[in-house]
Copies of this chain bind each other. A is one copy, B any other.
Amino acid sequence: MPRLITSFSNETVKRLRSLRDKKARRTEGLFLAEGLRIIAEARDSGRLPELIAFSSEHGVHPLATEIIDATERAGGDALEVPSELLAKMSGKDNPQMLIGAYRQSDTALEQLDRAAAPLWLVAQALRDPGNIGTILRTGDAVGAGGLILVDDCADPFSVEAVRASMGAVFTQGIAAARWDEFLAWLRGGPGQLVGTSLRTDTDYLDARYAEPCFILVGNEQQGLPADYEARCDLLVKMPMLGRADSLNAAVAAAVMAFQVRASWRR
């Protein structure tokens, strides 16, 4: 039976709320997902929260009830709270009626099985959590194995990244590493590292992409450092027909990933 909690000073409520904070997420090893859609997506991928909080003021969806029950059966903790308390936890005016706290997956590179997928996405120093979530979502769509975060990236387990991922945070592999660690791991097996660059004549439509293909996307402001480009197996150029010389990072990753897939279907 879910506990009914009405006080904001309740320890579990405070713990859930603290997970909006990166430091607390790291200490606890947990992260938040909000809303029935993404929590149902997680369940369908075999993932249940360790903590779940819900409000019943506007009724409880049968699917939410099912997930709350399953969470408790699996040893998790379920709290029923007033909706204004849930609003404070989610930091939104229009709060979702359901919040879950999930165990973060291990982000060691060694956890990734590169043979498990022909395509992987690699982001270097991406600062926007929305971009990271969007790239995870795209990775799901193109059947990527996961996303490798190189250097100092935004937290893939932040609320904003989780929301933008639309559930892909539960299905895509996620690893984090420094550039030299990533290169050492990459060169320990098969893998073509592909970067987009303005300093090449190879059109992205004409290149030959090899499995497993690792698509590398650089920082939102600076793009890829020149010495990172130099370590790529293949640099390709996307035509830029207007005034600007770059795309949004998540857009660039998606156009490349769909083109690599398209080239393999031809």
Contact = CB atoms under 8 A, between A and B. Distances in A.
A67 interface: no
Contact of A247 (B45, B130, B138): B138
Given A168-B243, A241-B261, 19 more contacts: A44-B243, A134-B251, A138-B247, A140-B244, A141-B241, A141-B244, A141-B247, A142-B241, A143-B241, A166-B246, A167-B243, A167-B244, A205-B262, A205-B265, A247-B254, A254-B255, A255-B258, A258-B259, A259-B262
Contacts of A137: 244, 247-248, 251
A261 B248 contact: no
Interface in A233-260: 238-244, 246-248, 250-251, 254-255, 258-259
6 contacts: A140-B244, A166-B244, A168-B242, A241-B261, A250-B251, A259-B262
| Copies of chain A in the complex | 2
A255 to B, nearest CB: 5
A240 B130 contact: no
Interface residues of A, number: 37
Shortest 10 CB-CB contacts between residues of A and residues of B: A140-B242, A143-B241, A251-B254, A255-B258, A134-B248, A141-B240, A140-B244, A205-B262, A141-B242, A254-B255
A138 B248 contact: yes
A243 B138 contact: no
A142 B240 CA distance: 6
Q: Which of A143, A240, A262 has the most CB of B within 10 A?
A: A262
Interface in A199-217: 205
A64 interface: no
A87 interface: no
A103 B136 CA distance: 38
A233 to B, nearest CB: 22
Nearest to A255: B258
Interface in A24-64: 41, 44-45
A164 interface: yes
A134 to B, nearest CB: 5
